[in-house]
């Protein structure tokens, strides 16, 4: 759990640099490359975990390969949530046309929600808001993406 927190801090710092980049074309290019890599890792990790028959609420795995896949799923699902909330327009541009990504993300969200890693704290909120932003779950009446700006509309 501590390593997860450290990784999340690094991810948010990288994202801050991307937000500060005032070139929308560059942001599109960087996010396109980033999402392709992120979903490749997520899908590869899903394959490993399914093959190992690991359930999200099982004790944390001891095998290094399975442990790494588990970590990749929770880290990348959370990071995708951060990207989707901060760059909704760009993420919708790529994500909405990719049904494979949607299936993989739904699996990752389900895994994360059942794992207990996200219980409490603001990481759970990221998953909840991202699910609503992308239409995976119905938007609550009071849904607000806290990072959305006029240029996202």
d(CA 111, CA 116): 9
What is the phi/psi pair of residue 63, to 5°?
-65, 130
Chain-centre distance of CA 41, in angstroms? 11
What are the tens digits of pLDDT across the range 24-50? 899 999 999 999 999 999 999 999 999
Rg (CA), the chain: 15
pTM score: 0.89
**Is pLDDT of 5 > 80?**
no
- DSSP letter at 87 equals S
d(CA 27, CA 90): 8
Rounded average pLDDT over 121-145 = 91
Would you list the domain boundaries of the chain? 2-152
Arithmetic mean of pLDDT over the chain: 90
């Amino acid at each position: 759990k501590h390593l997860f927190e450290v990784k999340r801090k690094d991810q948010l710092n990288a994202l801050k640099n991307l937000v500060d980049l005032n070139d929308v074309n560059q942001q599109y290019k960087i996010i396109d490359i980033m999402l392709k890599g992120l979903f490749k890792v997520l899908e590869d990790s899903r394959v490993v975990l399914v093959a190992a028959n690991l359930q999200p609420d099982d004790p944390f795995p001891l095998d290094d390969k399975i442990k790494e896949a588990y970590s990749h799923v929770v880290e990348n699902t959370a990071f995708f949530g951060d990207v989707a909330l901060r760059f909704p327009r760009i993420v919708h541009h790529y994500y909405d046309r990719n049904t494979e990504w949607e299936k993989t993300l739904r699996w990752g969200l389900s895994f994360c929600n059942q794992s207990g890693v996200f219980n409490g704290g603001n990481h759970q909120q990221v998953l909840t808001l991202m699910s609503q932003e992308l239409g995976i779950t119905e938007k609550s009446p009071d849904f607000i993406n806290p990072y959305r700006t006029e240029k996202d509309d």
